[in-house]
């Protein structure tokens, strides 16, 4: 997994387009990770245009929380995981002013004996009630979703809030 992260960083320096980065990373995984199946969500956030352009290789959907606290998943069907996919589709979404884009690993929501849908519902519920500032938002999610239980998987959360006037039209 560390090799995939390092490779992704290097590949993104050459050409940051999400489909190109995941396609090249897919080639790396096929060569060096023979039987590996890795999920990935890679995107480029444009804070001036208020857009997020991304591609997903079997990863859980990003979550968008608008300034009024409403939440939705950016749940366009992902392409297959790295190591198995042939191509990756690019998607672009507008990020309204004051909205928070949330990326996370499966360790945050998965629970033994529970459906993935239940974990996603829990994430959506707690995201709508979490504080607006990104660090406090992440701390709140971590506290609410870990539920003081031992963590069986790694957890990562990335939250970014876009503020400032978005371009006209």
Asked if residue 166 belongs to a domain, the reply is: no
pLDDT digits (tens), the chain, 169 positions: 677 888 888 999 999 999 999 999 999 898 887 778 899 999 999 999 999 999 999 999 999 999 999 999 998 888 999 999 999 999 999 999 999 999 999 999 988 888 999 999 999 999 999 998 999 999 999 999 887 566 667 899 999 999 886 555 5
Asked if residue 88 belongs to a domain, the reply is: yes
Range of 129's domain?
Answer: 2-161
Asked if residue 140 belongs to a domain, the reply is: yes
| CA angle at 33 for the pair 54 and 87, rounded to the nearest 5° | 35
| Domains identified in the chain, total number | 1
Asked if residue 167 belongs to a domain, the reply is: no
Q: Contact at 8 Å (CB) between 36 and 83? A: yes
pLDDT at site 164: 81
pTM of the model: 0.88
pLDDT at site 165: 61
Asked if residue 99 belongs to a domain, the reply is: yes
pLDDT at site 6: 85
Asked if residue 169 belongs to a domain, the reply is: no
Write the CATH number for 149: 3.60.40.10
Q: Report CA-CA distances (Å) from 79 to 13, 23, 29, 103.
A: 23, 11, 15, 17
Q: Which residues lie across from 44 on neighbouring strands?
A: 53
Asked if residue 132 belongs to a domain, the reply is: yes
């Amino acid at each position: 997994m560390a090799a995939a992260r390092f490779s992704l960083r290097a590949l993104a320096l050459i050409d940051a387009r999400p489909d190109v980065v995941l396609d090249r990373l897919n080639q790396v995984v096929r060569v060096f990770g023979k039987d590996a199946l890795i999920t990935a969500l890679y995107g480029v956030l444009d804070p001036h245009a208020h857009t997020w352009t991304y591609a997903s290789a079997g990863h859980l959907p990003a979550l968008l929380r608008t300034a009024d606290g409403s939440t939705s998943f950016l749940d366009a069907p992902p392409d297959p995981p790295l190591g198995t996919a042939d191509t990756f589709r690019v998607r672009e979404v507008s990020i309204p002013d004051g909205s928070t884009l949330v990326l996370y690993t499966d360790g945050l929501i998965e629970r033994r004996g529970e459906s993935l849908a239940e974990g996603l519902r829990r994430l959506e519920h707690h995201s709508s009630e979490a504080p607006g500032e990104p660090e406090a938002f992440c701390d709140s999610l971590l506290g609410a979703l870990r539920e003081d239980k031992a963590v069986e998987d790694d957890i990562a959360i990335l939250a970014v809030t876009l503020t400032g006037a978005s371009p006209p039209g």
